[in-house]
Amino acid sequence: MCCKLTYKHYEDILMKAMAHDYEICGCMAHISKRKTKKRIVMRHDVDKYPIRAYDIAKIEHDNKVYSTFFFRVFSDEYNIFGYETMAIIRDIEKMGHEIGYHAEPVDVSAAHADVSAEQAFTMGKKALELLLMHGIQGAASHREATGNNNLYQFFGKKELKELGLVYEAYDESKLSLFTHSTYITDGYEWRWRIFENGILTNDERCLCQLLEDDREGIYCLTHPHSWYGSHLHRVNY
């Protein structure tokens, strides 16, 4: 039986991870901190419903856990400069979490013939930096059901230094986690996917069960819009 993606269960996962002596940190912290034997690098891609990203951030903060939240800029789902969303992003950072850029430059370029992918990336990065009032260090490619692949078609052809970044979420230079650890994601909403050293497995266990294996390195991606209080379709419930 699948575990439900409730806030209560997410907090249970954090508590279980710490009980199993895991250090939990965000992407940039993983790069800059001394390596520990057992570590979970926690990342959240905010595709929609920023308020749920805030809820997840608050749960982590209350448990002294700090992770990375990647926000989109080109999205019909939310506006980063909307009054509430702007406050949410800045408040998440004030809690101690890292904010990164969830980038989709190939899609933007495909939708706007007069905007190149390079221009779209720079435009979005500068907009998020303007909101935060400082530079950002990391990005994660976003993927829509368009057939475009921002990771391979854009990031795979660029140097991080050229983009003004320290890391991209799947890069092999700085972060180097996807192909060198156990990668787990809730990307199918009600079931998890687990990759071993970059290869998809048939293992669909929840992160709470994966923790029992006591693996040394876990790279976890969640999508906050898939998590909820009491019902998936009630945002504040």
pTM: 0.96
Q: pLDDT tens digits for 160-180? A: 999 999 999 999 888 889 999
pLDDT band at 36 (very low <50, low <70, confident <90, very high): confident
Confidence bin at 187 (pLDDT 50/70/90): confident
> Percent of the chain at pLDDT above 70?
99
> Among all chains, which residue has been given the structure tokens 């003004």?
164
Q: What is the pLDDT of residue 62?
A: 98
- Please, are residues 79 and 88 in contact by the beta-carbon 8 Å criterion? no
* The pLDDT of residue 49 is above 90: yes
pLDDT tens-place string over residues 83-120: 999 999 999 999 999 999 999 999 999 999 999 999 99
* Residue labelled with tokens 């419903």: 49
pLDDT for the residue numbered 194: 96
Would you say residue 189 has pLDDT above 80? no
Stretch 67-90: mean pLDDT: 97
pLDDT at 47: 96
pLDDT above 80: residue 236: no
What is the 3-state secondary structure of the chain? CCCCCEHHHHHHHHHHHHHCCCEEECHHHHHHCCCCCCEEEEEEEECCCHHHHHHHHHHHHHCCCCCEEEECCCCCCCCCCCHHHHHHHHHHHHCCCEEEEEECHHHHHHHCCCCCHHHHHHHHHHHHHHHHCCCCCEEEECCCCCCCCHHHHCHHHCCHHHHCCCEECCCCCCCCCCCCCEEEECCCCCCCEEEECCEECCCCCCHHHHHHHCCCEEEEEECHHHCECCCCCCCCC
pLDDT for 185: 97
Least confident of 27-36, 49-58, 131-140, 160-169: 27-36
**Of 16-25, 65-74, 140-149, where does mean pLDDT reach its minimum?**
140-149
Structure tokens at 192: 């998890």
Over residues 8-28, the mean pLDDT reads: 97
CB 137 within 8 Å of CB 11:
no
Q: What is the pLDDT of residue 188?
A: 75
- The pLDDT assigned to 174 comes to 85
Looking at residue 170, what is its pLDDT? 94
- Determine the pLDDT at residue 60: 98
